[in-house]
Amino acid sequence: MIRKSSINIAKVASRRALSGLVRGRPVCSSFAAQPRSSPVLLRSLPIVSNNVFGIRTYAVTTVPVPEMAESITEGTLKQWVKNVGDYVELDEEIASIETDKIDVAVNAPSAGVITEVLAAEEDTVTVGQPLFKLDTDGSADASAPPAPKEEAPKPAETPKEPEASKTEAPKPAAAAPPPPPPPPPAAKPAAASKPAAASTPETPSTPGSRDERRVKMNRMRLRIAERLKQSQNTAASLTTFNEVDMSNLIEFRKLYKDEILKKTGIKIGFMSFFSKALCLASKEIPAANGAIEGPNGGDTIVYRDYVDISVAVATPKGLVTPVVRNAEAMSLLEIEKAIADLGHKARDGKLTIEDMAGGTTTISNGGVFGSLMGTPIINLPQTAVLGLHGVKDRPIAVNGKVELRPMMYLALTYDHRLLDGREAVTFLKLIKEYIEDPRKMLL
**What is residue 171's three-state secondary structure?**
helix
CA 180 distance to own-chain centroid: 54
Which residue in the list 91, 344, 416, 437 is annotated as catalytic? 416
Of 382, 401, 403, residue with least CA distance to 393: 403
- Judge whether 420 counts as a catalytic residue: yes
* Nearest-10 Cα torsion for 29, 31, 36, 40: -150
The set of residues, in sequence order, having a beta carbon less than 8 Å from that of 85 and lying 6+ positions away, is 113, 114, 115
Question: Is residue 63 within 8 Å of residue 88, measured between CB atoms?
Answer: no
Q: How far is CA 235 from CA 18, 31, 247, in A?
A: 73, 63, 35
Q: How far is CA 147 from CA 142, 150, 155, in A?
A: 11, 5, 15
Strand order in the sheet with 237-245: 237-245, 401-415, 384-398, 361-365, 309-311, 323-324
Residue type at 327 in one-letter notation: A
Question: Is residue 282 within 8 Å of residue 307, measured between CB atoms?
Answer: yes
Question: Is residue 402 within 8 Å of residue 349, measured between CB atoms?
Answer: no
Burial 218-230 (b: 16+ CB within 10 A, else e): bbbeeebeeeeee
- Start-to-end CA distance of the chain, whole Å, equals 109
Which residue in the list 123, 258, 420, 437 is annotated as catalytic? 420
Quick one: DSSP state of residue 325? T
The beta strands (E) that lie in 212-343 are given as 237-245, 291-293, 300-302, 309-311, 313-315, 318-320, 323-324
CA angle 7, 8, 9 (to 5 degrees): 90
Q: How far is CA 9 from CA 13, 19, 23, 149, 410, in A?
A: 6, 15, 21, 43, 93
The catalytic residues are: 416, 420
